[in-house]
Every structure is written in structure tokens, then in C-alpha cells.
Amino acid sequence: MSLHQLTAHALLEQFKARQASPQDAYEAVAGRIKALDGKIKAYVRLASQKHKFDHPGAFPIPIGLKDNLCIKGEEVTCSSRILKGFRAPYDAHVVEKIRNSGGVILGGLNMDEFAFGSSCETSCYGPTFNPWNLQCVPGGSSGGSAASVAADEAVWALGSDTGGSIRQPAAFCGIVGLKPTYGRVSRYGLIAFASSLDQIGPLTKDVTDCALLLNIIAGYDERDSTSINLAVPDYTKSLINDVRGLKIGIPTEAFVDGLDPQVRAAVEESLNLFKKLGAVVKEVSLPHTPYAVATYYIVATAEASSNLARFDGVRYGLRVKPQNLRRNALIDLYEETRSAGFGDEAKRRIMLGTYALSSGYYDAYYLRGQKVRTLIKNDLEQVFKTCDVIATPTAPTVAFRVGEKLSDPISMYLSDIYTIPANLAGIPAISVPCGFSKSGLPIGLQLMGKALDEGTILRAAYTYEQNNPWHTKKPNL
């Protein structure tokens, strides 16, 4: 295997044995980007800073970062015109941790504009393409992160997950993606979409790499008021190939109309494997799940409307100078800058959120949405009284074709029907490859766990991975 194809833990073994150096690994991945990214389009920019390979950190692994994570001195745009030219004045907390570990930052990865999307098509840089089929989307919003890892253009990557934006693209691209417990990884330096839902997490080639990268980025940060001040366990100690006695709940609401029969078959086969390996698999109910998507698109758009109000042409990025004054110079500046700077999906979500928060509608929409969010969280907590893990498909379909759902927002929003509940409840969830469709597209299995119990879902995911070949498959590029 070439160095760019190896997992992070395999590279670390090579470094330890002096069979390869961190610089060799970087050059192999950089060569892969140069050769392939013209057709994958995972990267929106490569890091301008020179790499230092004499850092004492233990993890000198080439890593790509989603284009909403601040890297000091580098442009960061959330793949939106409105932030073109903006350079981050500081490092995000996770970037500090990557640097301290010796990580080699490759550059910024494409995403749906401000993380608004499930296909990586709303980016101002154009779409990213799925390495398994270049006519298909890689999922979103962390589509560039998932595609880069699947195409071996990064050894591992960071994304953000607000309603499934790590797990769904991981499923579409046949890799591992983890959304940690809300607050387990600091959001300092992550440009906000929906502050009560956003979480940074790893996208990796296998579960071992996922645990290693989570070890690096997890931990308390006083600059994030929602950061959890608790000791971080060594997640690699959870990588045990044994699920005997583990109780896995299967929500009856997960297997409904709209679920692709091939996805259903792959997930059911995965559950049968868990049974053979000694896990206890039983049906459970999450009765408020049918309201999750609607609830999410009230809460998330309301928070997005508030967070994106700061991008007005005065301080950050794009500024459009009005040609003709209609009311006054400042209001005209706001209107013309935001009209030119935001794409259609961003405008749609800002308007939805502004409406939900407006006078006379706050109680009817936002407040009611928060109440239903509590009911969804309570459903999950009730199930976790008798189960260790909840298993569902990660997405209802395999990757769809580029442009197929772009003009149908509702169909696009339903791509996250299985992933949204974990964000609303703040619990950890992981997607692992569990098979392929007849057309050769990857399928993902989602495992959700109790708050702060990443260890259990990593154990279940690792056991599953070690007993099938799906994570070893590579797209033919």
C-alpha cells in the first residue's frame, strides 16, 4: 500500500519502525491531492503555511479541516461569498490541539455554504463529487471532509455536525464519522450555524483512527461556555472486539416508507451479525421521531438567523457598496451585501429562522419547537434505561446524483431524518460502513449512545468493523 492509503495508526507504526517519515507521508498525500482533486474537488484551498516536521507531537498525521474552522492567518469562508477574503485572527481550539499533537494541516475542505445542506452542492466554490461515483454527491455539509478521506487525499479530517453533517457524508463515502456528545469538543473557533446543535468531530478511514483523533480534540475549554469540564477517557481503550451482552435497541420508527430496500437489507444484515456476536438486539420505540425533522428546521434556522446577522458587510469579508441610495447608506449596504453574499439555501434558512423568531410567532414556532425537542430527548433517555446503544440506518438512501435534490428542499432535508435526533438530544453517534448498493455505493450504519458514552458506541462500531470487510474497500480512482 502507498503511504497515502494507510490509516493514521498504520502510519504511526511506520514512523515508529523508521520505515517512513512524517514528511514522506505528507508528500504522498500532497501528491494524491495534486493528482486527484481536480475531479473530486474536496479542497477549497491548501494551507499557505510551511509545514514543520520536527515537531515533538506524537501524531504528525496529514489532516484536512472543514472550511468553517479557524486557522490563524488562513482564509476561512464557510464556502460562502460573504466571507471571501476573511482571514482568521486565531486558531480554533481543535486546531490548537491538532498543532500541539504535531498534526500536519493540509488545507480547507469544501462544505455546503455555512453548513446548510446535505449534499455539498450549495458551496460558492461549486460541488464536491463522491469518490465512489463522480456523478453522485458526497453528502453534506462536511462533503469535502468525507470525500478527502475516502479518496485518500487526507489521512483523516475534521468536520462539524449540526443535524448529521459528519455522519451522513461518512455513510455516502464509505468511511467512519463520529459526532461527539455536545460539549465534549470545544466549539471555539468554529463559525457557528446553530449554537445549541453544532459539534466538531472526526472523519476517518476506520474506527481506531476515529478514537485516536477524538483523543486529540476532546477536552474542556474555558473559552466555550458549553464545554464540559470533565476528564476525557482514553477512547482507544474502548476498542474491544466483543459485544457479548451489549443491548442494542432498534427503533420501530426507523424502518418506514422512504427507506431504500438496499439500505434496509444492509442494516438488517448488520443487526444479525451483532446477534451472532452475542449482542442482545431488541425493538424499541421513539414515538416523537416523526417530528424530529420539523423540529430541527425550526430550532436550527432560528439560531442560524441570529448567528448570521453579524455578516453584514461592515466587519467581515464581502462588502458591496450601494450604487443608488434608496433609504440610507447603512441599510442599503446591509441589503446589497447580504443579497450578493448569501446563496439561495442560506437565504431560505435565514428567512425561515427570522420568521420563527418574529413577534407573534415565537411561541407558535420556536418555543414549541424547543418543547418537542425535549420530548425527543426524553424518548431517547427512556430507551437508554434498557439499552446501551440505539442502531438505525445513517441515511435513508445511498448517495444521490448531483443536482437531483437541489431544487427540492424537503427531499434534501429528509436525508438527515435518522441523524437529527442525536443533535437535538446532544448525544454521541457514529456512522460505520455496512455494505454497498447494487450500483456500488456505500451504505452506513448509525450507532447512538448515552451522553458522554462515546466509549460504548466505539466498542460496538469497532467490533462490527473487525468482523466484516467493508472498511477496507477503496473507490477505484
- Cite the active site residues: 66, 141, 165
Distance CA 357, CA 296 (A): 14
| Whether the Cβ atoms of residue 94 and residue 189 lie closer than 8 Å to each other | yes
CB atoms within 10 A of CB 162: 28
What are the backbone angles phi and psi of residue 111, rounded to the nearest 5°?
-155, 165
DSSP state of 192: P
Alpha carbon distance 203, 167 (integer Å): 8
End-to-end CA separation in angstroms for the chain: 14
Cα 217 from Cα 203, distance rounded (Å):
12
- How many residues comprise the chain? 477
Cell 449596504 found at: 333
Q: Pairing relation of β-strands 62-66 and 104-109?
A: parallel
Tell me, letter by letter, the H, E, C secondary structure of 107-145.
Answer: EEECCCHHHCCCCCCCCCCCCCCECCECCECCCCCCHHH
Q: How far apart are CA 175 and CA 360, in angstroms?
A: 45
Gyration radius of the chain's alpha carbons:
21
Question: CA-CA-CA-CA torsion for 369, 192, 93, 212, nearest 10 degrees?
Answer: 60
> Among candidates 49, 151, 50, which has minimal Cα distance to 442?
151
